[in-house]
Amino acid sequence: MILHFVATAPAKVNLHLGVGEARADGYHDLVTVFQSVDLWETVRLSVDTRAPRVTQGSVVTGMTTSFGVKRPAEDIDTPANLAWRAVDAVVDAYRRTDGAVSLPRVSIEVEKNVFVAGGMAGGSADAAAALLAANAFVGHYGGTTLSRDTIVDLAKSLGADVPFCLMGGTALGTGRGDEVVEMMSRGLYWWVFINPSVPLPTGEAFSRLDDLRHNDASVVPHLNTTTLSRCLLTGEPRLVARALHNDLQPVAVAMRPQLRALLDFAADCGLRAIVSGSGPTVALLCEDEEDALDARDRIEAAFDGYEIVCAAGPTTGAREVLEY
């Protein structure tokens, strides 16, 4: 008999990304406003109930990913994958609290619907979903689950965006972006996301921003989200569009100049276009679903080969389903 433990988690878009100065640990203090959108990553843990159980080491036997988006050139089905690491983290934490519990082996299946390395937290959504699926797994075989606080702590250890993918909705992120609190927001916001599929390393983008600020004193962090917060309370996409901001956008455009043409064209198709996170995905906010679909069609006709998808937010955060 095969048991399945399944969870899903959403992608994110940064409505605001303010980047502070570099810290001693190499990270930057961030002030960001996240919104979850209805592009979902699904993680399934499959267990053969007849297989022998183990009391130490990884319970993961392997991982396979199916792609609803463009497949990357490199193999991502390795122990370094955030979903795999999340399962191991839950099992290790459970063993620390409940001793050498006997658990069966599991295989991981991931269904990817978020651009790979696109600045939309696809990997972080995988981790968030895997945390919940793994917690259901250890609860089924061990009798109790890890607390929500423990799951959040594990999320922080895995990546800065993972806690938000757990939470979903609209949230203010501080610290590395991993300290998240819910924000008031009204309305539904329709987006078009365009991925030009050009590599844009996050670490290099932050380093370039540091260099830019060192050479130009006028380039300062934008850490105030008051205007955006007020606009989100109105539920009016036009007002929210005016308040969107990303400190990394000038750097992303400098690193990948083709983004400028995409940003300019997209802006003519909707309310406002910005680089999503560290890029390279461009996020276009539209008035409503009809306008988003129309904008998608226009951009597809103009930029052959780019990945383009419509989505709306905010959505809920990660959620689990136990399948037998």
Stretch 99-104: mean pLDDT: 84
The ranges assigned to domains in the chain are: 2-24+36-178+318-323, 189-313
Of 321 and 207, more confident: 207
Stretch 236-254: mean pLDDT: 96
Distance CA(119)–CA(275), nearest Å, equals 8
The residue whose two tokens read 């063993």 is 95
**What is the pLDDT, as a whole number, of residue 59?**
95
161 in catalytic set? yes
CA distances from 219 to 19, 22, 257 (A): 11, 14, 19
Q: What percent of the chain has pLDDT over 70?
A: 99
Per DSSP bridges, beta strands 106-112 and 189-195 are: unpaired
Stretch 55-63: mean pLDDT: 94
Residue 323 confidence class, pLDDT cut points 50, 70, 90: low
- State the pTM of this model: 0.95
Tokens of 43: 């993680």
Stretch 61-70: mean pLDDT: 96
Of 37 and 50, more confident: 37
Tokens of 16: 């605001």
| CATH code of the domain made up of 2-24+36-178+318-323 | 3.30.230.10
Residue 218 confidence class, pLDDT cut points 50, 70, 90: confident
Stretch 275-280: mean pLDDT: 91
**What is the pLDDT, as a whole number, of residue 27?**
82
Distance CA(29)–CA(27), nearest Å, equals 7
Stretch 117-128: mean pLDDT: 95
Distance CA(2)–CA(134), nearest Å, equals 15
pLDDT in tens, 290-303: 999 999 999 999 99
Whether residue 15 is predicted with pLDDT greater than 80 in this model: the reply is yes
Stretch 52-80: mean pLDDT: 93
**Third-level CATH fold of 189-313:** Alpha-Beta Plaits (3.30.70)
pLDDT in tens, 124-145: 999 999 999 999 999 999 888 9
Tokens of 191: 């987006």
**Catalytic residue (one of 12, 112, 126, 178):** 12
Q: 201 near 188, Cβ under 8 Å?
A: no
48 in catalytic set? no
Distance CA(216)–CA(151), nearest Å, equals 42
Residue 25 confidence class, pLDDT cut points 50, 70, 90: confident
Of 168 and 20, more confident: 168
Stretch 91-99: mean pLDDT: 88
**Catalytic residue (one of 126, 161, 247, 291):** 161
Tokens of 286: 């539209």
**What is the pLDDT, as a whole number, of residue 210?**
82
Stretch 155-163: mean pLDDT: 97
Residue 65 confidence class, pLDDT cut points 50, 70, 90: very high
The residue whose two tokens read 């036997």 is 61
**What is the pLDDT, as a whole number, of residue 324?**
47
pLDDT in tens, 168-212: 999 999 999 999 999 999 999 999 999 998 988 888 888 888 887
